[in-house]
Structures are given as structure tokens and as C-alpha cells.
Amino acid sequence: IEIYSLHVDCKVTSRFAHTVVTSKIVNRANESREATFEVELPKSAFITNFSMSIDSKVYPGIIKEKASAQKEYDAAVSHGQSAGLVKITGRKLEQFHVSVSIAAASKVTFELAYEELLKRQLGKFELLIKVRPKQLVKHFQIDVHIFEPQGIRFLETDSTFMTNELTEALTKVQNETKAHILFRPTVDQQKINPELDETLLNGDFVVRYDVRRGATAGDIQIVSGYFVHYFAPREMPVFPKNVIFVIDRSGSMAGRKIEQTRDALSKILQDLRPEDHFSFITFNSKVGEWKSSLLQATAENVASAAGFVQTLSASGGTDINRALLTAVSMLDKAERLPGRSVSMMILLTDGQPTSGESNVEVIQENIQKAVNGKYALFCLGFGFDVSYKFLEKMALSNGGIARRIYENADAALQLQGFYQEVATPILMKIEMQYPENAIEGVTKNNFKLFFEGSEIIVSGKISNELDLLPVEIKAQTHASDLTLKEEANVKEKEQVFQNQSYVFGNFIERLWAYLTIQQLLEKSISAEEEDKKTLEAQALELSLQYNFVTPLTSMVVTKPTGQQQTELANKPTEAG
């Protein structure tokens, strides 16, 4: 079985990435053989199309509502379940895998398309392409086109498998607003060494970039009646933080995990600003407070805390409920904190609640009642014994996010990386306002906090013949209350994307649908049962309308007669 052509074509238009992977395979044997197509794609992406063509007959994947697809599948497959076509394969990726039997000398072409909105983290966007053909490929290429009307501020490529020979196969061309990256290694360049037919191409190919930001009220782009508004202010004074680290030191944290936690906390302490206030709460079946109140991050206090962190050891049960309630009450009672400051709790745990209150629903309720919207709660789940669903719901209900920390050598770096994302809050209570009578279907437009290095994105439909789209942003900075105003000329903005070969269809409309679905699903995690149904119904309708494989839809893939005919591609989620 020979893969004679493998192309990855990616167009990124204003952060929205549309990637198509095409693999052409020929069976050189004189009997039928299994041809396999394997693509690893980002977890944040939605598959939007798949097809296989065997001897010029096309078998398309059809996206349907999950339950009805499952019913159809169960009817078609009377014996034994297959594992489904998509599974999570690591921190950032999931894998789409399909095999089909093809006759001697036959050819098959597989094509998979997926879309995602690139998310700005720590000051850059990252486009990740996983490369693993497992054999030498005659025509191999990665072709990336980026068009950012705001202008490209910097651009870099990075790869885990590059050699000097392979670097020669990489070209980058860039002007003010566009970049073209082409990686097209010959068969010889792909070889580990001239004698062996083994490929070097195995790993990540990454493009990182950021855009220029001029206008204070962000940047508005408009295509075919849909708008997107990007806002990422720079050089603002940073809010002092009041942060309580709530650290699990139960028995399961013993050994490497608690070492990595000590390591990460020592580094994080060095990153605190002098005007920040902080404290530690550690818990197993008992809850311990390092100090009875928050302390200012003076050199002396930080040194004392560093000493304390080194003494952390692990044993006993897990009382998450009492640990978090203790943290909330410490913030409630705190005195002499800076007037305008941001208060947050960062929970790190590796297991289920086993001591004290162990019913997760009761814990969620207790915490939400106690926090009452005053503080942000971030939940870090260490490893795979945690109930990620529980942590995610608790974080999202309390203005924060959840993140999984993988049990690898770099766990301490993962913890520090997360801290860096939330280390510099520069805006609070951000309201993005648009004229109500002229705009509909607006995505989330109120945000509690904005951290430096990230980006706020709001999208919606412009309902009537509007010439000017006025926007107003209200927010609190450390120094004062902020109001920014801007007017976008609809006709002028539409012009920007005219005759751009890079633009795929009504990409802002697809971006709007993608963002709306992501937000509806996120909202449904912390919603009550009734609301959950409504939110999921809306998300399902959009998933079907825009042909996205989301957690509510499935793609039905049908194969030629005589093989296990129907297979399903579902979207796996982090919470399982």
C-alpha cells in the first residue's frame, strides 16, 4: 500500500483556519489490501467534511444528529461495536482514523476538512499540524496561507522533526497582511538516512504569529452581513491580584506529583508582583492554612512561602469542599487589599472528593453560593483520576476555566504556563456594546476579566442595511473606568475581503457559527437541566446547518459493499 500523495492545505483568514488533508493511496499488491487514513487534528477544531473516492466512486461522510446516527449505526451493525473513528490522542489533538479495503491496483483518495478559530494565548496564535505519514511519500506538502487584514506583526515556524536538509524544503513568503508557508520535502529529504526507507516526518509542524493592533477599540471585520470584533488592548496597567493557591496533598499526590507541584509553586512565587497578595491552603482529609490571612508579596513573605512550599508532603484523603470554602472565607475576611484588585482561587487536585462532603453536586452548589460571583475559580485537574466534568462545571460556574495537567516530565511547566495566562489581569467587567436594533445573534459580549496576551472575540449578524456599525466598549482598568468608541464603515470593511483568493466563502458567518456552538456547549455545562436542553437544541441546530461534527452530531461514514459498512465519527470531549 503506497501513499503517493499527501497534502495539507490550510487557509487562515483572520484567525479562522480551514484545513483540508488529502491522501492518495494506491494498492501495488496483486490482491486486495487495507488502506488507512489517519489524521490528528486539534481538539478545538470541528470536522466539517470527509469523503473517500475509490476508483472514482465517492463515499461522502454525512453529518447527522448523534442519537439518530447511532440508531442507524446499530441497525446496520448487528454484531460487535466498532470503536468509532475519532479518539483523543494527547494534550491538544484527537485522531480521525478510517480504513477501507481496496482491490489490487486500485486507488483511493481520502479527504478530510476541519475548521477552528485560533485562540490567542500568551501573545500569539498557534496553528498546529501533526505530521505522521509512517512512510516516504512521493508528493508531500504542507501549504499554509494566512491573511490578516490587521497586518502580521511577527511569524515563526517551528517543528519537532526539522533537520538541515528538511529546512531547505521550507519556504516562507510574507508581506504586510499575508504569509505563505510551503513545506515540500523530496523523498530523499524525508529519509532518516540514504540507505533506509524510513521517514523523518513524525511530529508537530507549528506556525505561530500575532497581528498588529492599532485602533484602541479593537478591530472589526465584516463579510456578507456578519461581523467579527477582535479586542486585545496593550500596555495597560496591571491589576494587583489576590490569589489563594488551594493545593491537594492527599495520598495520591505522593511522589512525583507533589514534587512537581512544589517545583511549579516555587517558580510561580517568583512571578508574583510586589503589589499582589497571596496565600496557600493545603488539604487532604484536613484543611491547613499557611497563614490565617493573605499576605502581600514582599520579598520577605515570598521567601517565607518558598520555604513552606518545600515542606509540602502528601498523605490522606481529599476534602475539596472544605478547602474551597476556607479559601472563599479567607478572601471574604481579607482586609487592606488594594481597592481595585482581582481576587482568584487556583485549585490543584488529582482525585475525587473522598473526605468531608463527597457529593459533587452538593460541593458545586456550596461553592457557587459562597463565591457568589465575587471571585474567579480556576480548577487544574492533575492526571486522569480526577472527575474533569466536576472541575469544569465548578470553574465555569465561578468565572474561571478548568485545565487538565498531564502526568509527564513537564507537569511543572504546564502548571507555570497556566499561571502565566492568568497572571496579568488588565481589564475587569468588560462590556462590548452594539446597536440593539441593528444586530442579532451576538455571541458572548460581557466578560469578567481580560488577561494580557489573550483576546476577546465577539461576532454577530448585521440585520438591516446598516452603513455604519457603532461599537462601544466599557471596562474597568486599574486606574479608571474606560469607554472606547469606534464606528465601522460597513461598505469599506466588506471591501477588504473582496477578491482575496485566500478567503473561503462566508468565513465570518462560519466563524460566528463555530463560536456560537462552542459558547452554547460551554454554557450548557453549568446550566440547570431545563436550560441545558434549550442550549443543546440551539447548538445542535447550528451544528447541522453548518455541517460541523460537534459533541451533539455524528458523521456517518459508509464503505463499499461487503465491508463493515457503516462507521461513526463522534467528537470526543475532555470530560469523556
Q: What is the pLDDT of residues 148-173, one digit of tens each?
A: 999 999 999 999 999 888 999 999 99
The pLDDT > 90 percentage for the chain reads: 85
Please state the domain extents for the chain. 2-212+549-570, 241-423
Task: Write down the pLDDT at residue 247.
Answer: 97
Tens of pLDDT, residues 426-481: 999 999 999 988 999 999 999 999 999 999 999 999 987 889 999 999 999 998 99
Q: What does DSSP assign to residue 148?
A: -
The pLDDT > 70 percentage for the chain reads: 97
Task: Write down the pLDDT at residue 562.
Answer: 72
Task: Write down the pLDDT at residue 70.
Answer: 86
292 exposure class (CB count in 10 Å sphere: 0-12, 13-18, 19+) = exposed
Instruction: Look up the CATH superfamily of 241-423.
Output: von Willebrand factor, type A domain (3.40.50.410)
Across 410-414, average pLDDT: 95
Task: Write down the pLDDT at residue 339.
Answer: 84
- Could you tell me which residues come within 8 angstroms of residue 53 by beta carbon, excluding any fewer than 6 positions away? 59, 108, 109, 111
Task: Write down the pLDDT at residue 424.
Answer: 96
Tens of pLDDT, residues 343-387: 999 999 998 999 999 999 999 999 999 999 999 999 999 999 999
Tens of pLDDT, residues 214-263: 867 999 999 989 999 999 998 899 999 999 999 999 999 999 999 999 99
- Could you tell me which residues come within 8 angstroms of residue 276 by beta carbon, excluding any fewer than 6 positions away? 240, 241, 242, 243, 296, 297
Tens of pLDDT, residues 526-548: 999 999 999 999 999 999 999 99
Q: What is the CA radius of gyration of the chain?
A: 26
Tens of pLDDT, residues 488-514: 999 999 888 876 655 566 899 999 999
Does residue 229 contact residue 219 with C-beta atoms inside 8 Å? yes
CATH number of 2-212+549-570: 2.60.40
What's the whole-model pTM score? 0.95
- Could you tell me which residues come within 8 angstroms of residue 569 by beta carbon, excluding any fewer than 6 positions away? 47, 50, 61, 84, 85, 86, 96, 549, 554, 555, 557
Task: Write down the pLDDT at residue 81.
Answer: 52
Task: Write down the pLDDT at residue 502.
Answer: 54
Tens of pLDDT, residues 65-80: 998 888 888 877 655 5
pLDDT for 324 beyond 70 = yes
281 exposure class (CB count in 10 Å sphere: 0-12, 13-18, 19+) = buried
pLDDT grade for 61, boundaries at 50, 70 and 90? very high
